[in-house]
Every structure is written in C-alpha cells, then in structure tokens.
Amino acid sequence: MSGRVRVRPGVPDAALRVLSEAGLAFDVGPLEVAGADALLCLLSDRIDAAFLAGAPQLRIVANMAVGTDNIDLAAAASLGIPVSNTPDVLTDATADLSFALLLAAARRLAWADRYVRGGGFVGWNPELGIGLDVTGRTLGIVGAGRIGRAVAERARGFRMQVLLHSRALGPPLAELLARSDFVSLHVPLTAETRHLIGAAEFARMKKTAVLVNTARGPIVDETALVHALREGQIAAAGLDVFEHEPSLAPGLRDLPQVVLAPHIGSATVTTRARMAKVAAQNIVAALRGEPIPNRIA
C-alpha cells in the first residue's frame, strides 16, 4: 500500500500511530492537498467545491467529527472522492457535556463561580443564587439519534420526563417546546434544521425554560436567542456551539444567564484519541482499496 496523507495540526497522535503502522507517509500542516492522496481534517476546516476541484488525486477526505457540514458532499461525490466521519465514539462525551450545561444553566454555576472569584461571597444568604429545579422536570430532546438518546438515559437518573422528537418520532416540535422545562438540541445541521429554533419557537417555550445546544450553532437563530433571553421569554441557555463560530451574536456574552463553552463536546482525552484513530483507520481502508468503515458519501 502506498499513499501520502495530509494531517491537520491538532489531530491527536493516535492517528499518526495508525498511519505509521500501516506504512503510510504523512505530513502535518496547513489545509492543502498538493501531492496528497488522503486528507485528515477537522470540523473547522472548510472543504468546499473549489478546494476539492484543486485536489482530484484525493482518494478520501476523513473528517475527525460526526457532523460533515464543513464539507461540500455534493462536490465530493461529483469528483468521486469518498468522505468519512467518526460516529459513535463521541456519543457519551457529548451527552455528558449536554447534561453538564443543563445543570450549570439551571443552577447558575457560571454566575456563582464568577461571584466567588470576584470576592462577592461574604456568607450564606437565602436569596443568593436562586436557580431552577432539574429533578422531576420535563426534558425535550430534539433529535433522537445516538447522542439524543444518551442524554435521555442521563435524564432518567434525575427522574425527568423525557420527550423525544424527530421527523419520525415523538410529539410535534411545537408541542415539545410548549411542554418542556429544558430543551436539548441534537440534530445535524442541514438546510431543514438551520434556524430550527428561532423567534417563533422561543415564543412557544416556557418563561422558565432552559435551552441547551451541543449540536451545531446555526440550528439556533442566535440573534433571536439574545432577544428571548433579554425579554424573559426563556430563563437561561447552555451553549457549546455558536451560529458564526467563534464569533458570538452581539449581546450574548453579556447575558449572565447563559453558560458558554468553546465547542468542547468531545473534548476528553479518550474520546479525542478514539476519534483520531477512527479517522486514520478510514484512510487506511481507502488507500488499501477496502470498504471505508464510516463512509458517508
């Protein structure tokens, strides 16, 4: 087997070990594919039609992520370039973070941390840091895939009523939003899900509701979210992703009832190493002429 692989900086060493053991040469560097037969890229890399048109020798684009909205799949298909992702391995890590954001937003943990660090805590006060109950409340999960179902498993430990919504399952979205105390988003970013949650949806939610998003930022109309939080249409939000990442909608960072994280849903040592390994294994299979385990296009 022969072939040269371009690996983006930041990919864990687990991927490099897989490539080395397979006898493949690789370069770690900027997003380019001159002379490369395979690309191991990140979700922050924009792999568009123009980029792919300049790399007809590519035999695979291996994305170290589950989502592939950063890749023009139609252009890749038209050029006969396979695209793969890394499903399954980040389910638990992302579900854990989703529930952590839910708890942090409900119990005002980010505010509490800033308050103590800023010297504000001078003793117990019965009116200080009042948040929202989680146990026994209703959790609406939008997206009934692996991560959504994993979040549902965690919710059962808090005796929550779980509403699961997808195109083929559960109550209509409008009903879920009206009934839920917490809404957690777990759908892929597509033309149909872009701005799935906007002004009309916030108007249907409870004033005490909390929104959690660990999926993709553009699923939420971020400007509408800022308005909904300012006007008290919903109570709080926990966000790991943003509409125009890494930029935030004006006013979002100033809202104390929002918990913000820098897209760290899969950011555990074990999970990131497994993602890197799976991406590299997809490349090895492609360059060997074998079926690609996680081919999506």
| 135 and 31 co-located in one domain | no
Question: Which DSSP letter does residue 295 get?
Answer: B
| 237 and 155 co-located in one domain | yes
230 inside domain = yes
Rounded-to-integer distance, Cα 94 and Cα 91, Å:
5
Would you call 159 a catalytic residue per the annotation? Answer: no
| 191 and 277 co-located in one domain | no
User: Which listed residue (194, 204, 263, 295) is catalytic?
Assistant: 263
| 24 and 110 co-located in one domain | no
- For the segment 270-296, the average pLDDT, to the nearest whole number, is 98
pLDDT digits (tens, 9 = 90+) for 161-204: 999 999 888 999 999 999 999 999 999 999 999 999 999 999 99
* Confidence at residue 1, expressed as pLDDT on a 0 to 100 scale: 67
Contact 39, 71 (CB under 8 A): no
| 68 and 109 co-located in one domain | no
- For the segment 24-28, the average pLDDT, to the nearest whole number, is 96
pLDDT digits (tens, 9 = 90+) for 46-84: 999 999 999 889 999 999 999 999 999 999 999 999 999
Would you call 216 a catalytic residue per the annotation? Answer: yes
**Which of the two residues, 2 and 126, has the higher pLDDT score?**
126
| 96 and 85 co-located in one domain | no
294 inside domain = no
Q: The domain containing residue 21 runs over which residues?
A: 4-89+269-288
Query: Is 297's pLDDT higher than 90?
Result: no
pLDDT digits (tens, 9 = 90+) for 215-269: 999 999 999 999 999 999 999 999 999 999 999 999 999 999 999 999 999 999 9
User: Which listed residue (149, 175, 194, 245) is catalytic?
Assistant: 245
Rounded-to-integer distance, Cα 62 and Cα 113, Å:
39
- DSSP character string of 191-231: TTTTT-BSHHHHHHS-TT-EEEE-S-GGGB-HHHHHHHHHT
Q: Where are the alpha helices (DSSP H) in the chain?
A: 13-21, 49-53, 73-78, 91-106, 109-117, 146-156, 173-179, 199-204, 222-230, 269-288
Query: Over the Cα atoms of the chain, what is R_g?
Result: 21
* Confidence at residue 34, expressed as pLDDT on a 0 to 100 scale: 86
293 inside domain = no
Query: Is 24's pLDDT higher than 70?
Result: yes
Number of domains in the chain: 2
Rounded-to-integer distance, Cα 158 and Cα 54, Å:
52
56 inside domain = yes
Would you call 108 a catalytic residue per the annotation? Answer: no
**Which helix or strand (DSSP H or E) is residue 163 part of?**
strand 161-165
**Which helix or strand (DSSP H or E) is residue 238 part of?**
strand 236-239
**Which helix or strand (DSSP H or E) is residue 41 part of?**
strand 38-41
150 inside domain = yes
133 inside domain = yes
Rounded-to-integer distance, Cα 264 and Cα 90, Å:
11
pLDDT digits (tens, 9 = 90+) for 78-117: 999 999 999 999 999 999 999 999 999 999 999 999 999 9
| 237 and 135 co-located in one domain | yes
33 inside domain = yes
Query: Is 276's pLDDT higher than 90?
Result: yes
User: Rounded to a whole number, what is the distance in angstroms from the first to the last CA of the chain?
Assistant: 23
Contact 201, 177 (CB under 8 A): yes
* Confidence at residue 56, expressed as pLDDT on a 0 to 100 scale: 82
| 82 and 102 co-located in one domain | no
The CATH number that applies at residue 231 is: 3.40.50.720
Question: Which DSSP letter does residue 73 get?
Answer: H
Query: Is 159's pLDDT higher than 80?
Result: yes
Mean pLDDT computed over every residue of the chain:
97
User: Which listed residue (6, 216, 272, 274) is catalytic?
Assistant: 216
